[in-house]
Structure 1
Amino acid sequence: MVILLLAIPITALIEAPGKLSATDSSSASIAQSQPEEQDTASQSTASEQTGEQVPVQPGIVGPQKQEDAGAVVPVTASLVSLWENGRVDMSYFDDALFIGDSLTQGFQIYSSSFENATYAAYVGVGPKELMQGTVSNINGEQVSAIDEILAANAGKVYILLGTNSLQNLTDEAFIKYYNDFLDYLLPQLPAETVYYIQAIPPVSAEKAAADESYALSRIQSVNDQLAQMAYTRGLNFVNLYAGLAGEDGALRAEYASGDGIHLNDAGYNAWREYLITHTAYRQGNPYLPGSPLYVG
């Protein structure tokens, strides 16, 4: 019995160093894993802010769960869109040109507008029509769109096209013509021109249900392709869809006109507000006091 009682503490003393070593090893593993997880989270945040494609490790949940090592997060509208970085003064739009169809033309009609900006907006047009022949301006005059665009001598160009094309073109054809238009336009403008590709806005829930051409899932898919196009070309992408949509993804009822596609004055006010607060950072931008990037 005496021998047995003495054996218990002796055994504990012999096993203790091994147990302590295993505990230290486990703690080291946990400590080493934490920085990796933090780095991955930082990497994901950087990707969302810069729009860069970032390699993702297997099993990490980001914009899309990746199964293969070395896979990259796909470019989507939500991933590469400009984030809110502060309000600019309206003088920012002194040298801005808005290119688009009747949606953009509404800025020339409603009080919620950029009165100091220039417009090349024409009813019923898509990217193809802007390159071919003449179009009808807000005064009903037949004009050459490209001539008006070049005459504006703009420092910033905002483009919104696609609402009409959803009805008469496939998604593939629309993206092709959009790329063709940019290939046609960009070499004719100064290299320092700042471009904003705007997402196609949502339509009302009633319009989306009644006309499959304007299904919300389709608009979102096309916007992802526009985001990819802007990202590939190094242009800014403005997620106007997100700025005008409600929780159900449809155009907010308080912004919709009678046809469910066009906007009312409140909708243009929301659109204007979104652009004022979503600009590409440039040193010297006229940010207002209280904005994160304001320098007094």
Structure 2
Amino acid sequence: MMINHKSTRRSLRTGWIAAGAALAVGLIAAAVLCLALRPDEAAPSEVIPAESSAVVMPSSLSSQEPEPGSQSEPESLPEPSSSQSLSSEELAAEPEESGASSAEEEPSGEQPAPLSGDALVPEGEEMDNSYFDDAVFVGDSITSGIALYGVMANTKVLAAQNINLASVYTSPAIRLKDGSKVAIMDAIAGGDYRKIYVMLGGNEIRDESEEAFLTRYSKLIDDLRDLYPDAILYIQSILPVTKNNRYRMDNARIDRFNEALLDLCSEKGIHYLNVAECFKDEKGMLPDSASPTDGMHFGTAYYEKWFAYLRKHALPVEAE
């Protein structure tokens, strides 16, 4: 029997061509399927903006529950343990890291000289918690933690993220009962307070000149005295930070601004609380263990230290 080799080769060639064509079609189909399933990298993803400020509402101004899902509502955060600090995502992420930073000053390794001046409130008889019944605390995210942790639930807190001596007048940070928002200085005007505690400056002293800082603080003091001429006005020192903090803040600069702030309070005849001294370690800084996450925000234990200091540094209120 004769084998037709030429016919056999032709059949094999035809089979290989058909198989190759089928494979090519399969590869093309798979590629098309992958492209169809692959997300469009050029298309922007949807961004749901969070509110720009963290609002800690005083009970006298709002009974509304915080809006669910908002990153800016501190009430939605779990309470860390007393040794845990708040992360920058949890409390304010402030000061903002944009803009030029001041040159870091080389720490001397020595504690600055103790503050002294007529405005400095000395340690005295310890007050009980009812002293804060008719008080209001004004500030930024550090002050917001008073309400967040429920450290002094009987007091009022008007505070928000990223608030400074300018935005306290302009940023709509406080939600009213009707759902609208007003600036802190507008909100405080509607109260009835016998003591006003202010802690501001942490969001601006890194980049702000001392002169501008004092000018703005002076205006705030004057406006608060106009609103509440019979109230005790306490200006609290700016708090220290850890040596290595995410905001590139410097404790030597903080100390210098605090000294200038004490002088301003002396000139204006109001009261200065050196709260920073109860936060500092032996090197004059916030201990790393107090704020291991960002070097600025802290947990319950340090809020307790803060109010223990305030109870021992308080002026008696004259009976009406």
Note the alpha carbon deviations across 1:261-285, whole angstroms, 9 max, x for none.
112111111111111111124456x
Secondary structure at the aligned position of 2:205 is classed as helix
Per-residue deviation, 1:145: 1.4
1:94 maps to 2:129:
no
Per-residue deviation, 1:172: 1.8
1:162-173 mapped onto 2 (5 Å cutoff)? 162-173=201-212
Q: Which one of 142, 154, 164 corresponds to residue 126 of structure 1?
A: 164
How many residue pairs get matched? 205
1:201 maps to 2:201:
no
1:275 maps to 2:313:
no
Q: Which residue of 2 aligns with 1:152?
A: 191
Q: Which residue of 2 aligns with 1:45?
A: none
Instruction: Note closer, same or farther for the CA distance 1:129–1:78 as it changes in structure 2 (3 Å cut).
Output: same
Unpaired runs of 5+ residues, structure 1, are: 1-74, 285-296
Secondary structure at the aligned position of 1:98 is classed as strand
Note the alpha carbon deviations across 1:23-68, whole angstroms, 9 max, x for none.
xxxxxxxxxxxxxxxxxxxxxxxxxxxxxxxxxxxxxxxxxxxxxx
Superposed CA RMSD: 2.5
Instruction: Note closer, same or farther for the CA distance 1:114–1:188 as it changes in structure 2 (3 Å cut).
Output: same
1:203 and 1:145 map into 2 onto residues whose CA distance is 25
Q: Which residue of 2 aligns with 1:187?
A: 226
Q: Which residue of 1 aligns with 2:291?
A: 256
Between structures 1 and 2, the one with greater helix share: 1
TM-score (ref. length: structure 1): 0.64
1:1-296 mapped onto 2 (5 Å cutoff)? 77-80=115-118, 81-111=120-150, 113-135=151-173, 142-189=181-228, 191-207=229-245, 212=248, 214-256=249-291, 258-282=293-317
Among all aligned residue pairs of Structure 1 and Structure 2, give the percentage whose two residues are the same amino acid. 28
Q: Which residue of 1 aligns with 2:49?
A: none
CA contact (8 A) 2:194 2:231 kept: yes
Secondary structure at the aligned position of 1:197 is classed as strand
Matched residue type, 1:93: F
1:129 and 1:245 map into 2 onto residues whose CA distance is 28
Instruction: Note closer, same or farther for the CA distance 1:146–1:108 as it changes in structure 2 (3 Å cut).
Output: same
| Structure number with larger C-alpha Rg | 2
Unpaired runs of 5+ residues, structure 2, are: 1-112
Matched residue type, 1:230: C
CA contact (8 A) 2:174 2:187 kept: no
